[in-house]
Structure 1
Amino acid sequence: MKKTLRILTALFPLLFAPHAFTHALYVFAQYDGQTVTGKSYYSDMTPAVETYVEVLRHGENQPLMTGKTDNRGYFHFPLVVEPKVALKVVVEGEEGHRAAVVADRITATPNTPTQASDESLLLLRGDIAQLRDKIYLHDILGGIGYIVGIAGIAAWLSARKLRKGR
């Protein structure tokens, strides 16, 4: 019992550690052969404003272009040369946050204007990415369930050990 109390006392300060309340950085990106566009945001859905963005060829470390996101978290870089391989977009935010994604290649349909379809597709992909990355109630309840389950296993093992000791 004393050992368990010591362990719980040692772990209690971790609940109030400053890093426990940090949030993750997310990014989605696309390119159409001429431009790389995308958005960067945090897990609480606030845009990652003025964060550094690098565009690299997938598998290489030398950036093709660098820049920053705007005040809504969006970035837009014109490509000088159309790459033959996939592009990787890396965003580095404040306090060491970093996110990387391989940009999806999109193609324009022949019957629609490119600028309008690119913007609407970017907005749609942004909405989908935010819904995917949002923390839902079932995620929180699942995490609590894991913690209760691990505590239950520990209590069961402890009770088993006490019974064997008698």
Structure 2
Amino acid sequence: MRLVIQRVSDASVSVNGTTLGTIETGLLVLAGFGSDDTANLPNTPIWKKMLDKTLNLRIFPDAEGKMNRSLTDIQGDILLISQFTLYADCKKGRRPSFTTACHPAIAEPLFDRLMDDTQAQTPGHFATGQFGAEMNLNFTNWGPVTILLDSETL
């Protein structure tokens, strides 16, 4: 599992011109699953660690402007988006290969579970896009701050 976490001052997602979700200050989280991820992933310690890390990364400023506060501390929002392209392989040629991405039949239930678990722990507002859809994201990356969490390296 890979998560790209962006600190945002606002974000929204739309499909075919219809806005599905909007958030204010918080995190835009792009989530992808790899071919080694299985349906059992939510029952593993790494699942809990990835979610805990996301909610508690100290990437928001304190009163002195230092990154010392977490999403939980600021009661921030999360916009969670599925993104299989996080597993793009660009080693050969110019067209990315997605053979290391999880098959949608496995990835969709994993993403659904990630939505449920994230929403249950999000201190502020929670929003999401639509799995498998071509989505348009609008956001203001605050900082900019972008963090990559990879289950293989945590």
TM-score, normalised by the number of residues in structure 2: 0.24
- Which structure has the larger Rg? 1
Greater per-residue helix proportion: 1
Which structure has the higher relative contact order (CA within 8 Å, separation 6+)?
Answer: 2
Greater per-residue strand proportion: 2
TM-score, normalised by the number of residues in structure 1: 0.23
